[in-house]
Structure 1
Amino acid sequence: MLTKKIKNTLICAVSACILSSSVIAADFPSKDIRLIVPWPAGGGADAISRKISNIAEQSLPKSIYVENISGAVTATGLMQMTRSRPDGHTIGVLTYDSVITLPRGKMVPGYSLEKMAPIARITREADAIVVSKHSGYNSFEELISAAKAKPNSVRVGVAPKGSGPYLAVRRLEKEINVKFNVITYPGSSSAEAEALLSGELDAAISSLGDFSGILSSGDAKGVVELSSEQNPSYPGVPPIKSLGYELETGSFILLAAPKNTPKDKISALETAFKTAFDSKEFQSWVTTIGVTPSWLGSTDVQAWIDELQSSTFKVMDDLNL
């Protein structure tokens, strides 16, 4: 039997812990939060990151500011994030290359997802094939017919080897039995957009959102989206499944903090971004750029990452990539 004095002591100790935890949560963030976007300013990942962080900071006592640190296929910025103090005041944006390309190729010494604590998945977006108005192609069928008639003649721009678009074009070649003249462009899709404008490329693969500017101007046209469902933002672009092919690929945006960031800080960040995600402002905006809002919280996102890596690496093994 515990004496009354011991019981009171235990109650006080527990109360102190609860109060201490509450004070920590209430004091966070104590300064502005740095959001590292590992791509140049102006791309799709940058725009989405800025939009949701602008809304998220409205529910926080401090601001969230975006810092673009590109290089090494997102590794430069993300490694800087992982070396930051794990106090919740520095977080980063992960995309396909961060989760698939870098771990698969072991391209950058010291880079590892194990040094990160996932916060949430924000969006998913399918890749698409976009053609330049200079190409003369008006449909996916015309593009494929030209590639079959003259192998290596149709110039298709994609991100470097190991990226989602690169994997997509190689899978497409194998499935349809064609051969493209594949040209890779490091960095964001803005380089591919410029190449489409100049006529340097006949087609390119990335998300429709990444090419929204040249699509709206009429300088390019989306001919197929590599998905199984119709994108409501682009009703004129058919999903590839409707044309009889099974090929789904695309990117996403995840948020992560340095490993060992306290759980209460992760929770506070997750709550702020979930509030922003659910807002009418974000939901309306994100669909106008052709991106699918797709939330996974901190308790589920790691399992999703593991499954994505497993399935994608298997496809790469099959293609000897």
Structure 2
Amino acid sequence: MFISNALNSSIRQRIAKGVAGATLATTALTAMSAIAVAQADFPQRDIRMIVPWSAGGGADAISRKISSLAEESLPTSIYVENIGGAVTATGLMQLGQARPDGHTIGVLTYDSVVTLPRGNMVPGYSLDNLEPFARVTQEADAIVVSEQSGYSSYEELIAAAEADPGTVRIGVAPEGSGPYLAVRRLEAATGVSFNVISYPGSSTAEAEALLSGEIDAAISSLGDFSGILSSGDALGVVELSGSQNAAYPDVPPISEFGIDLETGSFIVLAAPANTPEDVIETLETTYHEAYQSEEFQEWVTSIGVAPGWLGSEEVNEWIESYQQKTFDAMDELNL
């Protein structure tokens, strides 16, 4: 009897273990299936697009336009949230800390890729926390003068700066930014000296300063100043590029004046690091379709911005190369 009870007990234990093992296996399979379904069904809710600049600038406008077209291919919406501050770090640190499921994405600009990494300006900020999946634009910087400045050409602006050093007021983003580096490189190339005034935030502040007569000129992309250019309150006098911008045939590239100086900005789209590959693929494909649409191509060129697509396999290599070239230029100027 004792032996029989012991035997029965042993059998019951084995059965219980078997059931528990089967239950665990079933639970694991169910969880794995749920993850697979979740990824296959991406997106499951609206996608949050973080633009790390205030509303109204070029990066904001381009991000909103391409996202509005991208969401047409999705069952959910893409909504833009402007989170400025700390030269894009505030918004992008939120992006890096978001759940890596593709439902939060964001925008990288020059400052995100160059200014912040160069100076280690914000503790905790790192591109390692982000996964770039596309570049959608690459636009040259340009010099724009206000209508009330009295200048109507690049030659007149340089002649005035040469004749009276430090008096021509030119607005740029803060030290470390692309436009700031551009004006210092221009001074080195031409031998002139400007009164450089920096404006934090987007190019909206520089546009307002041009309108008020606070500055004579400013450096940013022609797209950033499209509003005051179309109204006639400002005039583009040169683009810091080696080729002519077809959208602005009256604005010559600086190469026409014998100067080798190409600087500019770009829009890169990114997700948090460790976002699943299939989700990245869906995001890349969706935005690529929006990028290729006739509406986006016509719109982006109409505001003077050059479309320039790079996919997830190319954009990281491009960022690394761009960083190195820019850091080398900064080293030459001791910036």
What TM-score results when the alignment is normalised by the length of structure 1?
A: 0.93
Q: Quick one: distance in 2 between partners of 1:269 and 1:122?
A: 13
Matched, 1:28 2:42: yes
Q: CA RMSD in A?
A: 1.4
| Partners of 1:25 and 1:268 within 8 A in 2 | no
Matched, 1:196 2:213: no
Q: Counterpart of 2:148 in 1: which secondary structure?
A: coil
| Partners of 2:38 and 2:44 within 8 A in 1 | no
Q: Quick one: distance in 2 between partners of 1:143 and 1:158?
A: 16
Q: Counterpart of 2:140 in 1: which secondary structure?
A: strand
| Partners of 2:141 and 2:222 within 8 A in 1 | yes
Corresponding position of 2:103? 89
Q: Counterpart of 1:129 in 2: which secondary structure?
A: strand
Structure 1 residues 22 and 271, CA, compared in 2 at 3 Å: closer, same or farther?
Answer: farther
Deviations 1:87-135 (A, max 9, x none): 1100110000000000001100000001111110010110000001111
Correspondence 1:236-275 to 2 at 5 A:
236-275=250-289
Matched, 1:169 2:167: no
Matched, 1:57 2:80: no
Q: Quick one: distance in 2 between partners of 1:160 and 1:280?
A: 36
Q: Quick one: distance in 1 between partners of 2:113 and 2:124?
A: 14
Corresponding position of 1:109? 123
Runs of 4+ more than 3 Å apart: 18-26
Counterpart pick for 1:121 among 128, 131, 135: 135
Q: Quick one: distance in 1 between partners of 2:152 and 2:161?
A: 14
| Partners of 1:126 and 1:248 within 8 A in 2 | yes
Matched, 1:66 2:80: yes
Q: Quick one: distance in 2 between partners of 1:34 and 1:301?
A: 21
What amino acid maps onto 2:304 in structure 1? G
Corresponding position of 1:226? 240
Corresponding position of 2:113? 99
Q: Quick one: distance in 1 between partners of 2:50 and 2:141?
A: 24
| Partners of 1:185 and 1:192 within 8 A in 2 | yes
Corresponding position of 2:161? 147
Percent of aligned positions with the same letter in both sequences?
71
| Partners of 2:108 and 2:267 within 8 A in 1 | yes
| Partners of 1:126 and 1:251 within 8 A in 2 | yes
Q: Quick one: distance in 2 between partners of 1:267 and 1:20?
A: 19
What TM-score results when the alignment is normalised by the length of structure 2?
A: 0.89
Corresponding position of 1:279? 293
Bigger Rg, which one? 2
Q: Counterpart of 1:67 in 2: which secondary structure?
A: strand
After TM superposition, give the deviation of residue 24 of structure 1 in Å.
4.2
Count of residues in Structure 1 that have an aligned counterpart in Structure 2: 305
Q: Counterpart of 2:312 in 1: which secondary structure?
A: coil
Deviations 1:272-293 (A, max 9, x none): 0001001111111110010011
Corresponding position of 1:317? 331
User: What 5-or-longer segments of structure 2 have no aligned partner?
Assistant: 1-29
What amino acid maps onto 1:196 in structure 2? L
